[in-house]
Amino acid sequence: MARNYTTCGDSELYTMLSQREHREGAFAEVYRRYGQRIYAYCRKILFDSRDADDALQETFLKFLGSVRGDRLMTNLPAYMLTIARNVCMDMLQQRRPHVELSENIHGTVDDHTVESNEIDALVTMALELLPPQWREAVVMQLYANMSYDEIAAALGVPMTTIRNWVCRGKQRLREILQPYFNERDVESSS
């Protein structure tokens, strides 16, 4: 009888990853649950869809390599994002100091309008202007849908610090983007 992995909790899935007969199904379910979240995080940190794809693959390979049957997993998303963060930081250190601002911030190449592409480029630029810790915390909250507690666990920083970084980061994004949106409001009312 086939096992339904979608009904398993994260800690149970993690345990199953160390069991040969369940490894493939458990991995597929972990990927289904967290692949998009990890990709979104990598995409926002690296600002490049190809690098984000590579980081996603490397994150899951390192995650699989770290599985131990005797480990109790209490917060799988935070554990995986910690791996993703380390992978992204390694990639940033190896990268030239050039960043493409014209890439689509959502990581897909759909039929975006020119206006949508402009907004994506502005948001990307604004994110780049944030201090790295603020940017990372904002990205984790907005694009990886993580709670303050999950971000704190992933970054190894107190939750109050995370809350401050997110609040300050969002405020700074508003300040950076406000002139553009004021200009757009004036143009649309004419």
Span 83-134, pLDDT tens digits: 998 999 888 888 654 444 444 444 444 444 556 667 777 777 888 888 988 9
Span 145-162, pLDDT tens digits: 788 988 888 888 999 999
Average pLDDT value for residue range 41-45 = 89
Question: For domain 7-98, is the CATH number 1.10.1740.10?
Answer: yes
94 near 51, Cβ under 8 Å? no
Q: Is the pTM of this model over 0.75?
A: no
Which of 17-26, 60-69, 123-132 has the lowest average pLDDT?
123-132
CATH number, domain 112-190 = 1.10.10.10
Whether residue 4 is predicted with pLDDT greater than 80 in this model: the reply is yes
Task: Give the integer Cα–Cα distance in Å for 97 and 92.
Answer: 8
Residue 163: what pLDDT? 95
Among candidate residues 72, 67, 59, 40, the one with its CA nearest the CA of residue 146: 40
Amino acid at 17: L
- Identical fold for domains 7-98 and 112-190, yes or no, is no
Q: Where are the domains of the chain?
A: 7-98, 112-190
Which of 66-70, 80-84, 178-182 has the lowest average pLDDT?
178-182
